[in-house]
Amino acid sequence: MTVLLPFVVNAALNFVLGLLIAFFLGPAEFGRYAIGAAIIVLVNTALMDWIRLSAVRFYSLKARETEPEIRATLDVLVTGVSVTLCALLVAAIVAGVDTRMPAMMLAAAVLAGIGAGLFDYHGAIARARFLDAAYARLVIVKNVMALLLMVGGAWWTRDPTVVLLGGLLSVAVALMSVRRKLADAPLSFSGARIDLAWTFAKYALPIVAGNAIYSLIPLLNRSLLAGAHGFAEAGYFSLASDMGLRLFGTLGATLEIVLLREVIRLDETRGRIAAQKRMAANLVIVLAVALPAAVGFALALPAFDRLLVPPSFQGAFSAFMAPLLPGFVALAIFQAGLYPAFLLEKRTLVATLAALAGLATNLGIILAFGGAPPGLYAWAQMSAFLVVLVVTGWAALRILPVWPSLRDCGAVLLAVAAMALAIWPLQNRLPAVVELGLQVGLGALVYGCVILACDVARWRTLLGLWWTVRRSRRN
Protein backbone atom coordinates (compact mmCIF):
# COMPACT_ATOMS: atom_id res chain seq x y z
CA MET A 1 0.00 0.00 0.00
CA THR A 2 2.99 2.35 -0.17
CA VAL A 3 1.68 3.48 -3.55
CA LEU A 4 -1.35 4.93 -1.77
CA LEU A 5 0.66 7.69 -0.08
CA PRO A 6 1.86 9.39 -3.30
CA PHE A 7 -1.69 9.14 -4.64
CA VAL A 8 -3.14 10.98 -1.63
CA VAL A 9 -0.29 13.52 -1.61
CA ASN A 10 -0.89 14.19 -5.31
CA ALA A 11 -4.58 14.86 -4.68
CA ALA A 12 -3.86 17.12 -1.70
CA LEU A 13 -1.30 19.16 -3.64
CA ASN A 14 -3.72 19.50 -6.55
CA PHE A 15 -6.29 20.89 -4.11
CA VAL A 16 -3.82 23.50 -2.85
CA LEU A 17 -2.75 24.23 -6.43
CA GLY A 18 -6.33 25.04 -7.45
CA LEU A 19 -6.78 27.49 -4.56
CA LEU A 20 -3.50 29.27 -5.31
CA ILE A 21 -4.24 29.60 -9.02
CA ALA A 22 -7.68 31.01 -8.21
CA PHE A 23 -6.11 33.48 -5.76
CA PHE A 24 -3.74 34.94 -8.34
CA LEU A 25 -5.99 34.80 -11.42
CA GLY A 26 -9.17 36.19 -9.90
CA PRO A 27 -12.75 35.10 -10.77
CA ALA A 28 -12.93 36.07 -14.47
CA GLU A 29 -9.54 34.70 -15.56
CA PHE A 30 -10.00 31.64 -13.37
CA GLY A 31 -13.30 31.06 -15.18
CA ARG A 32 -11.38 30.97 -18.48
CA TYR A 33 -8.70 28.75 -16.98
CA ALA A 34 -11.37 26.39 -15.57
CA ILE A 35 -12.85 25.84 -19.03
CA GLY A 36 -9.38 24.96 -20.30
CA ALA A 37 -8.85 22.66 -17.31
CA ALA A 38 -12.16 20.91 -18.07
CA ILE A 39 -10.99 20.40 -21.67
CA ILE A 40 -7.82 18.78 -20.28
CA VAL A 41 -9.91 16.33 -18.25
CA LEU A 42 -12.20 15.58 -21.20
CA VAL A 43 -9.32 14.99 -23.66
CA ASN A 44 -7.53 12.75 -21.19
CA THR A 45 -10.66 10.82 -20.20
CA ALA A 46 -12.27 10.39 -23.59
CA LEU A 47 -9.21 9.79 -25.77
CA MET A 48 -6.28 8.67 -23.58
CA ASP A 49 -7.68 6.97 -20.49
CA TRP A 50 -8.64 3.73 -22.24
CA ILE A 51 -4.92 3.00 -22.72
CA ARG A 52 -4.21 3.56 -19.02
CA LEU A 53 -7.09 1.26 -18.06
CA SER A 54 -5.75 -1.40 -20.43
CA ALA A 55 -2.32 -1.10 -18.84
CA VAL A 56 -3.84 -1.58 -15.37
CA ARG A 57 -5.75 -4.67 -16.53
CA PHE A 58 -3.30 -6.41 -18.89
CA TYR A 59 0.25 -5.26 -18.03
CA SER A 60 2.16 -6.74 -15.08
CA LEU A 61 5.58 -7.96 -14.04
CA LYS A 62 4.74 -11.37 -15.44
CA ALA A 63 3.42 -9.92 -18.71
CA ARG A 64 6.61 -7.85 -19.04
CA GLU A 65 8.67 -11.02 -19.08
CA THR A 66 6.41 -13.41 -20.99
CA GLU A 67 4.32 -11.12 -23.24
CA PRO A 68 6.42 -8.13 -24.34
CA GLU A 69 3.93 -7.47 -27.12
CA ILE A 70 1.50 -6.07 -24.52
CA ARG A 71 3.80 -3.17 -23.60
CA ALA A 72 4.76 -2.69 -27.24
CA THR A 73 1.10 -2.39 -28.22
CA LEU A 74 0.35 -0.01 -25.36
CA ASP A 75 3.32 2.22 -26.25
CA VAL A 76 2.37 2.33 -29.91
CA LEU A 77 -1.24 3.16 -29.04
CA VAL A 78 -0.35 5.99 -26.65
CA THR A 79 2.11 7.41 -29.20
CA GLY A 80 -0.36 7.10 -32.07
CA VAL A 81 -3.21 8.77 -30.19
CA SER A 82 -0.93 11.60 -29.03
CA VAL A 83 0.41 12.29 -32.54
CA THR A 84 -3.09 12.09 -34.05
CA LEU A 85 -4.47 14.59 -31.53
CA CYS A 86 -1.59 16.98 -32.24
CA ALA A 87 -2.25 16.70 -35.99
CA LEU A 88 -5.97 17.34 -35.54
CA LEU A 89 -5.20 20.36 -33.36
CA VAL A 90 -2.88 21.85 -36.00
CA ALA A 91 -5.46 21.16 -38.72
CA ALA A 92 -8.22 22.85 -36.70
CA ILE A 93 -6.09 25.96 -36.06
CA VAL A 94 -4.96 26.22 -39.71
CA ALA A 95 -8.54 25.77 -40.94
CA GLY A 96 -9.71 28.51 -38.57
CA VAL A 97 -12.31 26.37 -36.80
CA ASP A 98 -14.31 28.59 -34.44
CA THR A 99 -14.20 27.09 -30.93
CA ARG A 100 -15.05 30.37 -29.16
CA MET A 101 -11.65 30.16 -27.44
CA PRO A 102 -8.34 31.85 -28.25
CA ALA A 103 -6.26 29.51 -30.43
CA MET A 104 -3.32 29.51 -28.00
CA MET A 105 -5.52 28.66 -25.05
CA LEU A 106 -7.20 25.82 -26.95
CA ALA A 107 -3.82 24.47 -28.04
CA ALA A 108 -2.48 24.66 -24.49
CA ALA A 109 -5.54 22.84 -23.13
CA VAL A 110 -5.43 20.04 -25.71
CA LEU A 111 -1.67 19.55 -25.35
CA ALA A 112 -2.00 19.56 -21.57
CA GLY A 113 -4.75 16.93 -21.92
CA ILE A 114 -2.33 14.76 -23.90
CA GLY A 115 0.30 15.37 -21.22
CA ALA A 116 -2.14 14.36 -18.48
CA GLY A 117 -2.88 11.14 -20.38
CA LEU A 118 0.83 10.34 -20.69
CA PHE A 119 1.33 11.06 -16.99
CA ASP A 120 -1.51 8.73 -15.97
CA TYR A 121 -0.31 6.02 -18.37
CA HIS A 122 3.24 6.03 -17.02
CA GLY A 123 1.88 6.10 -13.47
CA ALA A 124 -0.09 2.93 -14.27
CA ILE A 125 3.05 1.31 -15.68
CA ALA A 126 4.98 2.15 -12.50
CA ARG A 127 2.24 0.68 -10.28
CA ALA A 128 1.94 -2.46 -12.42
CA ARG A 129 5.68 -3.09 -11.97
CA PHE A 130 5.59 -2.17 -8.26
CA LEU A 131 8.08 0.64 -8.85
CA ASP A 132 6.84 2.68 -5.91
CA ALA A 133 9.94 4.90 -5.81
CA ALA A 134 9.57 5.77 -9.49
CA TYR A 135 5.87 6.49 -9.03
CA ALA A 136 6.60 8.71 -6.04
CA ARG A 137 9.26 10.58 -8.03
CA LEU A 138 6.82 11.05 -10.92
CA VAL A 139 4.20 12.53 -8.59
CA ILE A 140 6.58 14.69 -6.55
CA VAL A 141 8.43 16.17 -9.54
CA LYS A 142 5.18 16.94 -11.32
CA ASN A 143 3.67 18.69 -8.29
CA VAL A 144 6.80 20.67 -7.41
CA MET A 145 7.14 21.86 -10.99
CA ALA A 146 3.41 22.65 -11.14
CA LEU A 147 3.67 24.82 -8.03
CA LEU A 148 6.61 26.67 -9.58
CA LEU A 149 5.33 27.00 -13.14
CA MET A 150 1.55 27.16 -12.81
CA VAL A 151 1.31 29.23 -9.63
CA GLY A 152 4.31 31.28 -10.69
CA GLY A 153 2.74 31.88 -14.10
CA ALA A 154 -0.56 32.89 -12.53
CA TRP A 155 1.21 35.34 -10.18
CA TRP A 156 3.50 36.78 -12.87
CA THR A 157 1.16 37.08 -15.87
CA ARG A 158 -2.45 36.63 -14.67
CA ASP A 159 -2.88 34.72 -17.97
CA PRO A 160 -4.77 31.36 -17.93
CA THR A 161 -2.97 30.20 -21.09
CA VAL A 162 0.41 30.55 -19.36
CA VAL A 163 -0.95 28.55 -16.41
CA LEU A 164 -2.09 25.74 -18.72
CA LEU A 165 1.31 25.68 -20.45
CA GLY A 166 2.96 25.56 -17.03
CA GLY A 167 0.99 22.41 -16.27
CA LEU A 168 2.11 20.86 -19.56
CA LEU A 169 5.77 21.62 -18.84
CA SER A 170 5.51 20.20 -15.31
CA VAL A 171 4.27 16.90 -16.72
CA ALA A 172 7.04 16.86 -19.34
CA VAL A 173 9.75 17.32 -16.69
CA ALA A 174 8.18 14.60 -14.49
CA LEU A 175 8.07 12.12 -17.38
CA MET A 176 11.69 12.82 -18.29
CA SER A 177 12.71 12.11 -14.68
CA VAL A 178 11.45 8.49 -14.87
CA ARG A 179 11.85 7.79 -18.59
CA ARG A 180 14.68 5.28 -18.27
CA LYS A 181 13.28 3.59 -15.17
CA LEU A 182 9.91 2.82 -16.79
CA ALA A 183 11.15 1.89 -20.26
CA ASP A 184 10.96 -1.76 -21.33
CA ALA A 185 12.52 -1.44 -24.76
CA PRO A 186 12.75 1.11 -27.59
CA LEU A 187 9.43 1.81 -29.26
CA SER A 188 8.80 -0.96 -31.78
CA PHE A 189 5.91 -0.83 -34.24
CA SER A 190 6.68 -4.41 -35.30
CA GLY A 191 6.18 -5.66 -31.75
CA ALA A 192 2.64 -4.27 -31.50
CA ARG A 193 -0.36 -6.43 -32.38
CA ILE A 194 -3.66 -5.28 -33.84
CA ASP A 195 -5.61 -8.03 -32.09
CA LEU A 196 -4.28 -6.86 -28.72
CA ALA A 197 -5.25 -3.28 -29.51
CA TRP A 198 -8.77 -4.47 -30.32
CA THR A 199 -8.89 -6.43 -27.03
CA PHE A 200 -7.85 -3.31 -25.12
CA ALA A 201 -10.50 -1.23 -26.87
CA LYS A 202 -13.30 -3.73 -26.18
CA TYR A 203 -12.34 -3.89 -22.51
CA ALA A 204 -11.85 -0.19 -21.78
CA LEU A 205 -14.04 1.84 -24.13
CA PRO A 206 -17.38 1.09 -22.37
CA ILE A 207 -15.80 2.29 -19.12
CA VAL A 208 -14.32 5.36 -20.79
CA ALA A 209 -17.64 6.30 -22.41
CA GLY A 210 -19.29 6.74 -19.02
CA ASN A 211 -16.30 8.57 -17.54
CA ALA A 212 -16.18 10.92 -20.54
CA ILE A 213 -19.81 11.88 -19.99
CA TYR A 214 -19.10 12.59 -16.31
CA SER A 215 -16.24 14.86 -17.47
CA LEU A 216 -18.46 16.53 -20.06
CA ILE A 217 -21.07 17.67 -17.53
CA PRO A 218 -18.79 20.15 -15.65
CA LEU A 219 -17.31 21.44 -18.94
CA LEU A 220 -20.77 21.96 -20.40
CA ASN A 221 -22.00 23.79 -17.30
CA ARG A 222 -18.95 26.07 -17.14
CA SER A 223 -19.24 26.97 -20.81
CA LEU A 224 -23.00 27.63 -20.65
CA LEU A 225 -22.63 29.65 -17.45
CA ALA A 226 -19.84 31.76 -18.94
CA GLY A 227 -21.94 32.44 -22.02
CA ALA A 228 -25.04 33.39 -20.02
CA HIS A 229 -23.56 35.23 -17.03
CA GLY A 230 -19.89 35.96 -17.78
CA PHE A 231 -16.55 34.40 -16.92
CA ALA A 232 -16.56 35.70 -13.34
CA GLU A 233 -19.65 33.63 -12.48
CA ALA A 234 -18.08 30.69 -14.29
CA GLY A 235 -14.99 31.20 -12.12
CA TYR A 236 -17.00 31.14 -8.88
CA PHE A 237 -18.82 27.99 -9.98
CA SER A 238 -15.63 26.33 -11.27
CA LEU A 239 -13.65 26.78 -8.06
CA ALA A 240 -16.41 25.15 -6.01
CA SER A 241 -16.87 22.39 -8.58
CA ASP A 242 -13.13 21.70 -8.89
CA MET A 243 -12.53 21.61 -5.15
CA GLY A 244 -15.51 19.32 -4.56
CA LEU A 245 -14.59 16.95 -7.38
CA ARG A 246 -11.00 16.76 -6.12
CA LEU A 247 -11.95 16.19 -2.49
CA PHE A 248 -14.64 13.60 -3.06
CA GLY A 249 -13.00 12.16 -6.17
CA THR A 250 -9.90 11.46 -4.08
CA LEU A 251 -12.05 10.04 -1.29
CA GLY A 252 -13.83 7.69 -3.69
CA ALA A 253 -10.64 6.64 -5.47
CA THR A 254 -8.82 5.98 -2.18
CA LEU A 255 -11.65 3.81 -0.90
CA GLU A 256 -11.76 1.99 -4.24
CA ILE A 257 -8.02 1.23 -4.10
CA VAL A 258 -8.26 -0.07 -0.53
CA LEU A 259 -11.49 -2.08 -0.89
CA LEU A 260 -11.32 -3.45 -4.44
CA ARG A 261 -8.13 -5.44 -3.84
CA GLU A 262 -9.89 -7.63 -1.27
CA VAL A 263 -12.89 -8.10 -3.56
CA ILE A 264 -10.66 -9.29 -6.41
CA ARG A 265 -8.75 -11.61 -4.06
CA LEU A 266 -11.98 -13.17 -2.80
CA ASP A 267 -13.25 -13.61 -6.37
CA GLU A 268 -10.06 -15.50 -7.26
CA THR A 269 -9.82 -17.63 -4.10
CA ARG A 270 -13.36 -18.16 -2.77
CA GLY A 271 -15.63 -17.45 -5.72
CA ARG A 272 -17.97 -14.80 -7.05
CA ILE A 273 -20.60 -15.02 -4.27
CA ALA A 274 -18.00 -14.37 -1.55
CA ALA A 275 -16.70 -11.38 -3.52
CA GLN A 276 -20.22 -9.97 -3.97
CA LYS A 277 -20.99 -10.34 -0.27
CA ARG A 278 -17.81 -8.41 0.46
CA MET A 279 -18.98 -5.65 -1.88
CA ALA A 280 -22.26 -5.41 0.03
CA ALA A 281 -20.32 -5.09 3.30
CA ASN A 282 -18.02 -2.53 1.67
CA LEU A 283 -21.01 -0.31 0.91
CA VAL A 284 -21.44 0.24 4.65
CA ILE A 285 -17.79 1.32 4.89
CA VAL A 286 -18.19 3.70 1.95
CA LEU A 287 -21.29 5.26 3.52
CA ALA A 288 -19.54 5.48 6.90
CA VAL A 289 -16.74 7.53 5.32
CA ALA A 290 -18.52 9.55 2.61
CA LEU A 291 -21.63 10.72 4.50
CA PRO A 292 -19.86 12.30 7.52
CA ALA A 293 -17.32 13.88 5.16
CA ALA A 294 -20.12 15.56 3.16
CA VAL A 295 -22.23 16.65 6.14
CA GLY A 296 -19.19 17.80 8.09
CA PHE A 297 -17.90 19.81 5.15
CA ALA A 298 -21.32 21.39 4.64
CA LEU A 299 -21.48 22.49 8.29
CA ALA A 300 -17.86 23.70 8.29
CA LEU A 301 -18.30 25.54 4.99
CA PRO A 302 -18.60 29.08 6.48
CA ALA A 303 -15.31 28.69 8.39
CA PHE A 304 -13.63 26.99 5.43
CA ASP A 305 -14.77 29.84 3.17
CA ARG A 306 -13.38 32.55 5.50
CA LEU A 307 -10.11 30.75 6.18
CA LEU A 308 -8.99 29.09 2.94
CA VAL A 309 -10.94 30.49 -0.02
CA PRO A 310 -9.33 33.43 -1.91
CA PRO A 311 -10.96 36.72 -0.82
CA SER A 312 -12.41 37.51 -4.26
CA PHE A 313 -14.25 34.15 -4.23
CA GLN A 314 -15.56 34.21 -0.66
CA GLY A 315 -19.33 34.01 -0.30
CA ALA A 316 -19.84 32.92 -3.90
CA PHE A 317 -17.79 29.76 -3.19
CA SER A 318 -20.17 28.69 -0.41
CA ALA A 319 -23.23 29.64 -2.45
CA PHE A 320 -22.19 27.25 -5.22
CA MET A 321 -20.63 24.54 -3.03
CA ALA A 322 -23.70 23.98 -0.81
CA PRO A 323 -25.98 22.65 -3.60
CA LEU A 324 -23.09 20.83 -5.30
CA LEU A 325 -22.16 18.73 -2.24
CA PRO A 326 -24.88 16.04 -2.50
CA GLY A 327 -23.76 15.36 -6.05
CA PHE A 328 -20.13 14.99 -5.01
CA VAL A 329 -20.92 12.49 -2.28
CA ALA A 330 -23.15 10.60 -4.74
CA LEU A 331 -20.19 10.26 -7.13
CA ALA A 332 -17.92 9.02 -4.31
CA ILE A 333 -20.46 6.38 -3.28
CA PHE A 334 -20.90 5.30 -6.90
CA GLN A 335 -17.16 5.10 -7.56
CA ALA A 336 -16.14 3.21 -4.43
CA GLY A 337 -19.28 1.28 -3.52
CA LEU A 338 -21.28 0.53 -6.67
CA TYR A 339 -18.98 0.54 -9.68
CA PRO A 340 -16.98 -2.54 -8.52
CA ALA A 341 -20.16 -4.61 -8.89
CA PHE A 342 -20.34 -3.75 -12.59
CA LEU A 343 -16.60 -4.25 -13.11
CA LEU A 344 -16.70 -7.73 -11.56
CA GLU A 345 -19.66 -8.76 -13.73
CA LYS A 346 -18.26 -6.94 -16.81
CA ARG A 347 -21.54 -5.02 -17.13
CA THR A 348 -20.05 -1.53 -17.40
CA LEU A 349 -22.67 -0.47 -19.95
CA VAL A 350 -25.01 0.20 -17.01
CA ALA A 351 -22.70 2.98 -15.81
CA THR A 352 -22.62 4.50 -19.30
CA LEU A 353 -26.43 4.52 -19.51
CA ALA A 354 -26.59 6.09 -16.05
CA ALA A 355 -24.16 8.79 -17.20
CA LEU A 356 -26.36 9.54 -20.22
CA ALA A 357 -29.39 9.83 -17.91
CA GLY A 358 -27.41 12.23 -15.72
CA LEU A 359 -26.38 14.35 -18.71
CA ALA A 360 -29.99 14.50 -19.93
CA THR A 361 -31.12 15.57 -16.44
CA ASN A 362 -28.48 18.29 -16.32
CA LEU A 363 -29.44 19.72 -19.71
CA GLY A 364 -33.16 19.35 -19.02
CA ILE A 365 -32.99 21.45 -15.85
CA ILE A 366 -30.95 24.20 -17.51
CA LEU A 367 -33.23 24.36 -20.55
CA ALA A 368 -36.42 24.18 -18.47
CA PHE A 369 -35.44 27.28 -16.47
CA GLY A 370 -33.74 29.10 -19.33
CA GLY A 371 -30.38 29.11 -17.53
CA ALA A 372 -31.49 32.25 -15.69
CA PRO A 373 -30.02 32.28 -12.16
CA PRO A 374 -26.29 31.31 -11.92
CA GLY A 375 -27.04 28.95 -9.03
CA LEU A 376 -29.20 26.86 -11.36
CA TYR A 377 -26.09 25.26 -12.86
CA ALA A 378 -25.01 23.93 -9.46
CA TRP A 379 -28.46 22.41 -8.89
CA ALA A 380 -28.42 20.90 -12.38
CA GLN A 381 -25.01 19.27 -11.86
CA MET A 382 -26.00 17.97 -8.43
CA SER A 383 -29.21 16.49 -9.84
CA ALA A 384 -27.27 14.81 -12.65
CA PHE A 385 -24.93 13.02 -10.24
CA LEU A 386 -27.82 12.01 -7.96
CA VAL A 387 -29.57 10.43 -10.95
CA VAL A 388 -26.39 8.45 -11.64
CA LEU A 389 -26.38 7.21 -8.04
CA VAL A 390 -30.06 6.19 -8.13
CA VAL A 391 -29.75 4.31 -11.45
CA THR A 392 -26.51 2.51 -10.60
CA GLY A 393 -27.63 1.84 -7.02
CA TRP A 394 -30.79 0.13 -8.22
CA ALA A 395 -28.82 -1.95 -10.75
CA ALA A 396 -26.02 -2.87 -8.33
CA LEU A 397 -28.38 -4.02 -5.58
CA ARG A 398 -30.10 -6.29 -8.10
CA ILE A 399 -26.72 -7.89 -8.88
CA LEU A 400 -25.57 -8.45 -5.29
CA PRO A 401 -26.88 -11.60 -3.54
CA VAL A 402 -27.30 -9.71 -0.23
CA TRP A 403 -27.95 -6.10 0.74
CA PRO A 404 -25.72 -4.04 3.02
CA SER A 405 -26.61 -4.37 6.69
CA LEU A 406 -29.63 -2.12 7.26
CA ARG A 407 -28.74 -1.97 10.96
CA ASP A 408 -25.26 -0.64 10.16
CA CYS A 409 -26.62 1.83 7.60
CA GLY A 410 -29.08 3.13 10.19
CA ALA A 411 -26.28 3.45 12.75
CA VAL A 412 -24.21 5.49 10.27
CA LEU A 413 -27.16 7.87 9.76
CA LEU A 414 -27.59 8.14 13.54
CA ALA A 415 -23.89 8.95 13.97
CA VAL A 416 -24.01 11.58 11.21
CA ALA A 417 -27.07 13.20 12.85
CA ALA A 418 -25.33 13.27 16.25
CA MET A 419 -22.23 14.81 14.69
CA ALA A 420 -24.33 17.46 12.92
CA LEU A 421 -26.16 18.38 16.14
CA ALA A 422 -22.83 18.72 17.96
CA ILE A 423 -21.08 21.04 15.49
CA TRP A 424 -23.97 23.03 14.01
CA PRO A 425 -24.12 25.53 16.94
CA LEU A 426 -20.47 26.47 16.28
CA GLN A 427 -21.22 28.01 12.87
CA ASN A 428 -20.18 31.69 12.55
CA ARG A 429 -19.47 31.99 16.29
CA LEU A 430 -15.65 31.99 16.50
CA PRO A 431 -12.55 33.03 14.53
CA ALA A 432 -12.34 30.86 11.41
CA VAL A 433 -9.28 28.81 12.40
CA VAL A 434 -10.67 28.06 15.88
CA GLU A 435 -14.15 27.32 14.54
CA LEU A 436 -12.89 24.95 11.85
CA GLY A 437 -10.57 23.15 14.26
CA LEU A 438 -13.32 22.67 16.84
CA GLN A 439 -15.80 21.48 14.23
CA VAL A 440 -13.36 18.90 12.85
CA GLY A 441 -12.23 17.68 16.28
CA LEU A 442 -15.63 17.62 17.99
CA GLY A 443 -17.37 16.18 14.93
CA ALA A 444 -14.84 13.34 14.61
CA LEU A 445 -15.09 12.56 18.33
CA VAL A 446 -18.91 12.42 18.42
CA TYR A 447 -19.15 10.48 15.17
CA GLY A 448 -16.48 7.98 16.21
CA CYS A 449 -18.10 7.37 19.59
CA VAL A 450 -21.52 6.61 18.07
CA ILE A 451 -19.99 4.37 15.39
CA LEU A 452 -18.04 2.37 17.98
CA ALA A 453 -20.99 2.21 20.36
CA CYS A 454 -23.12 0.69 17.58
CA ASP A 455 -20.24 -1.58 16.48
CA VAL A 456 -20.72 -0.59 12.81
CA ALA A 457 -18.95 -3.07 10.49
CA ARG A 458 -17.73 -4.76 13.69
CA TRP A 459 -15.13 -2.02 14.13
CA ARG A 460 -15.45 -1.99 17.92
CA THR A 461 -15.02 -5.76 18.02
CA LEU A 462 -11.99 -5.65 15.73
CA LEU A 463 -10.49 -2.80 17.74
CA GLY A 464 -10.93 -4.82 20.92
CA LEU A 465 -9.25 -7.85 19.33
CA TRP A 466 -6.37 -5.70 18.11
CA TRP A 467 -5.90 -4.25 21.60
CA THR A 468 -6.00 -7.71 23.19
CA VAL A 469 -3.38 -9.06 20.76
CA ARG A 470 -1.17 -6.04 21.36
CA ARG A 471 -1.32 -6.45 25.15
CA SER A 472 -0.59 -10.17 24.92
CA ARG A 473 2.51 -9.48 22.79
CA ARG A 474 3.78 -6.97 25.35
CA ASN A 475 3.34 -9.52 28.13
Out of 192, 227, 251, pick the residue that ends a domain. 192
What local confidence, expressed as pLDDT, does residue 135 receive? 87
What local confidence, expressed as pLDDT, does residue 426 receive? 93
> Quick check: is 301 in a domain?
yes
Q: How confident is the model at residue 187 (pLDDT cuts 50, 70, 90)?
A: low
Contact 248, 324 (CB under 8 A): no
What local confidence, expressed as pLDDT, does residue 160 receive? 95
Q: How confident is the model at residue 346 (pLDDT cuts 50, 70, 90)?
A: confident
Q: How confident is the model at residue 471 (pLDDT cuts 50, 70, 90)?
A: confident
What local confidence, expressed as pLDDT, does residue 424 receive? 95
* Residue 224 predicted with pLDDT over 60: yes
> Quick check: is 144 in a domain?
yes
What integer is the mean pLDDT of 263-292?
Answer: 88
What integer is the mean pLDDT of 185-194?
Answer: 77
What local confidence, expressed as pLDDT, does residue 7 receive? 66
* Residue 371 predicted with pLDDT over 80: no
What local confidence, expressed as pLDDT, does residue 464 receive? 82
What local confidence, expressed as pLDDT, does residue 203 receive? 81
pLDDT averaged over the chain?
90
Out of 372, 404, 436, pick the residue that ends a domain. 404
> Are 297 and 384 members of one domain?
yes
Query: How deeply is 381 buried, as exposed, middle or buried, from its count of CB atoms within 10 A (0-12, 13-18, 19+)?
Result: buried
End-to-end Cα separation, the chain, in angstroms: 30
What integer is the mean pLDDT of 177-199?
Answer: 84
> Are 284 and 246 members of one domain?
yes
> Are 4 and 145 members of one domain?
yes
User: In this structure, what are the phi and psi dihedrals at residue 96, rounded to the nearest 5 degrees?
Assistant: 70, 35
Domain around 6 = 1-192
What local confidence, expressed as pLDDT, does residue 31 receive? 94
What local confidence, expressed as pLDDT, does residue 446 receive? 96
459 or 23: whose pLDDT is higher? Answer: 23
> Are 131 and 264 members of one domain?
no
Which range, of 20-34, 97-111, 341-355, averages the lowest pLDDT?
Answer: 341-355
> Are 146 and 221 members of one domain?
no
1 or 310: whose pLDDT is higher? Answer: 310
Which range, of 62-71, 167-176, 220-229, averages the lowest pLDDT?
Answer: 62-71
Contact 113, 40 (CB under 8 A): yes
> Quick check: is 415 in a domain?
no
* Residue 107 predicted with pLDDT over 70: yes
* Residue 392 predicted with pLDDT over 90: yes
* Residue 402 predicted with pLDDT over 70: yes
* Residue 1 predicted with pLDDT over 80: no
> Are 187 and 49 members of one domain?
yes
What local confidence, expressed as pLDDT, does residue 430 receive? 92
Instruction: Say how many domains are in the chain.
Output: 2
For the ranges 7-11, 252-256, 365-369, the maximum mean pLDDT occurs at 365-369
* Residue 282 predicted with pLDDT over 80: yes
Query: Phi-psi category of 458—alpha, beta or left, where left has phi over 0 and alpha has psi -120 to 50?
Result: left
How far is 292 from 290, CA to CA, in rounded Å? 6
Q: What sign has the CA pseudo-torsion 90, 92, 97, 102? A: negative
Q: How confident is the model at residue 4 (pLDDT cuts 50, 70, 90)?
A: low
How far is 278 from 275, CA to CA, in rounded Å? 5
* Residue 442 predicted with pLDDT over 80: yes
Out of 137, 159, 192, pick the residue that ends a domain. 192
How far is 338 from 350, CA to CA, in rounded Å? 11
pTM of the full structure: 0.88
> Quick check: is 450 in a domain?
no
What local confidence, expressed as pLDDT, does residue 287 receive? 94
> Quick check: is 203 in a domain?
no
What local confidence, expressed as pLDDT, does residue 5 receive? 66
For the ranges 6-20, 161-175, 241-255, 332-346, the maximum mean pLDDT occurs at 161-175
> Quick check: is 152 in a domain?
yes
> Quick check: is 204 in a domain?
no
What integer is the mean pLDDT of 133-150?
Answer: 91
Return the H-helix or E-strand segment holding 168.
helix 160-182
What local confidence, expressed as pLDDT, does residue 390 receive? 95
User: In this structure, what are the phi and psi dihedrals at residue 184, rounded to the nearest 5 degrees?
Assistant: -95, -50
> Are 50 and 154 members of one domain?
yes
Which residues have a Cβ under 8 Å from the Cβ of 254 and sit 6 or more positions away?
Answer: 4, 7, 8
